Amino acid sequence: MDNTLPSWLIYCRPGFENDCVEETQAKPIETDKDSGYVVLQGKPRLAYSQLAFARQLLRLHGEVNDLQERDRITPLLAAIPAMPAKFSALYLEVPDTNDGKTLSGFTRRFQPLLEEVLREQGRLDDAPPVGAALAANSLRQQAGSYTENLPRLHIFFPNQSRALICTSDPHNSSAALNGIQRVSMNGDAPSRSYLKLAEAFEVFLDAKEQAQFLKPNMTAVDLGAAPGGWTWQLAQRGLKVFAVDNGPLKGAAATHPNIKHLRQDGFKFRPQRPVDWLVCDMVEQPQRVAELMTEWFVGGLTMHAIFNLKLPMKKHVAAMQEALNRIRTALNNKGVRYTLQAKQLYHDREEVTVYLTRVKK
């Protein structure tokens, strides 16, 4: 490695390592297929919010090999960079693989031991430990309240004897452990897709935006709604939902008073009055979905949208960027002000989720 250039560690969905590399255009150093992470070098700055395939973006400072069970703490402490002098939190992390799941028992046990030593050395903020925040399932909000602008310290274990020592900028990374935003299932939800929209809201909107943009009695259209997981997520937040799908809604979604099921074609349906939200989970070509979203925004039919772009078998990055650029070009030409963000969420498989929102003039 050339040590004059910054190195980066990025977590991703296993199988999407090459997409991560392609998106950053940085030099690949370690990109094992299905490992769930990549090491890159050479870009002075990367923007987390602009990287769809990156679950987490970390600056890599060094690594420790041959860690021995009898004393892991001494070599790890020696590898932690002297600057910054203090960290807001310690994250011990593992890849999103079967081996990683096995390792997470070890990191949970090791976390309080290392935290205690770092605190004694004055290198860790005296805020609640990461474990406590995670238990509250609101890391994002809690982190915001105590971290100020201090970087976080991340120690990533590709396996039990190797550790990569990293830091994250709280304004340019995910606050969630392993870059995975945890959300909980609702017992009445008609499908597990409920979790996907829940995760999208957590990832794309902070607590203030959620309170402002997702108020009871706001209106939403769900294109490709059946069996009703996304619709149920919106209804749980108090929104009135037009659920458009020729297929049936299931369970409680079929009879909920705030849900109106419309058996229509999602590509042809347009609301009589503009709505607050458009969500779309139809399995279709990304370009076709991009065109549909553009039409709704140019026509002033919605304020915000969350939609999926299903990725083709190959050329994921190119297909995604082509679809996103189509939206950008059309909205720029029409003078629509907006922000656009895409992420492959934890609950996304061969797809990315996009958040498009109108910016008021």
Ligand X SMILES: C[S@@+](CC[C@H](N)C(=O)[O-])C[C@H]1O[C@@H](n2cnc3c(N)ncnc32)[C@H](O)[C@@H]1O
Which of the residues are catalytic?
310
- Shortest separation between residue 338's beta carbon and ligand X, angstroms: 23
- Shortest separation between residue 277's beta carbon and ligand X, angstroms: 13
Calculate the CA 218 to chain-centre distance: 25
Binder among 63, 125, 202, 245 for ligand X (CB under 6 A): 245
- Shortest separation between residue 256's beta carbon and ligand X, angstroms: 14
- Shortest separation between residue 346's beta carbon and ligand X, angstroms: 16
Could you say whether residue 226 binds ligand X (CB under 6 A)? yes
CA distance 159 to 351: 28
- Shortest separation between residue 310's beta carbon and ligand X, angstroms: 9
* 340 phi and psi angles, rounded to 5 deg: -135, 130
Closest CA to 173 of 264, 266, 92, 58: 58
Closest CA to 100 of 39, 16, 178, 41: 178
Is the Cβ of residue 26 or residue 305 nearer to ligand X in the bound state? 305
Beta carbons within 8 Å of 346's beta carbon, 6+ residues apart: 13, 55, 96, 180, 181, 199
- Shortest separation between residue 349's beta carbon and ligand X, angstroms: 11
Could you say whether residue 266 binds ligand X (CB under 6 A)? yes
Binder among 33, 171, 187, 283 for ligand X (CB under 6 A): 283
Closest CA to 38 of 60, 9, 61: 9
Alpha helices in the chain (DSSP H): 17-24, 73-79, 98-120, 130-135, 139-146, 193-204, 207-213, 229-236, 286-298, 316-333
Closest CA to 7 of 37, 44, 51: 44
Is the Cβ of residue 61 or residue 347 nearer to ligand X in the bound state? 347
Is the Cβ of residue 64 or residue 226 nearer to ligand X in the bound state? 226
Is the Cβ of residue 138 or residue 264 nearer to ligand X in the bound state? 264
Closest CA to 232 of 210, 218, 253, 214: 253
Could you say whether residue 229 binds ligand X (CB under 6 A)? yes
Binder among 244, 306, 331, 354 for ligand X (CB under 6 A): 244
| Site size for ligand X (CB under 6 A) | 19
Could you say whether residue 46 binds ligand X (CB under 6 A)? no
How many separate helices (H) and strands (E) can be counted in the chain?
10, 14
Could you say whether residue 281 binds ligand X (CB under 6 A)? yes
CA distance 183 to 189: 13
Could you say whether residue 303 binds ligand X (CB under 6 A)? no
Could you say whether residue 286 binds ligand X (CB under 6 A)? no
Contact 35, 99 (CB under 8 A): no
Binder among 230, 297, 307, 355 for ligand X (CB under 6 A): 230
Could you say whether residue 267 binds ligand X (CB under 6 A)? yes
Binder among 193, 219, 294, 357 for ligand X (CB under 6 A): 193
Beta carbons within 8 Å of 212's beta carbon, 6+ residues apart: none
Question: Which of these ranges, 61-69, 206-214, 279-287, 288-296, lies near ligand X under the rule CB under 6 A?
Answer: 279-287
Could you say whether residue 236 binds ligand X (CB under 6 A)? no
Binder among 191, 210, 321, 341 for ligand X (CB under 6 A): 191
- Shortest separation between residue 305's beta carbon and ligand X, angstroms: 14
Is the Cβ of residue 41 or residue 344 nearer to ligand X in the bound state? 344
User: What's 129's DSSP letter?
Assistant: P
* 236 phi and psi angles, rounded to 5 deg: -65, -25
Residues that bind ligand X (CB under 6 A): 191, 193, 224-230, 244-247, 265-267, 281-283
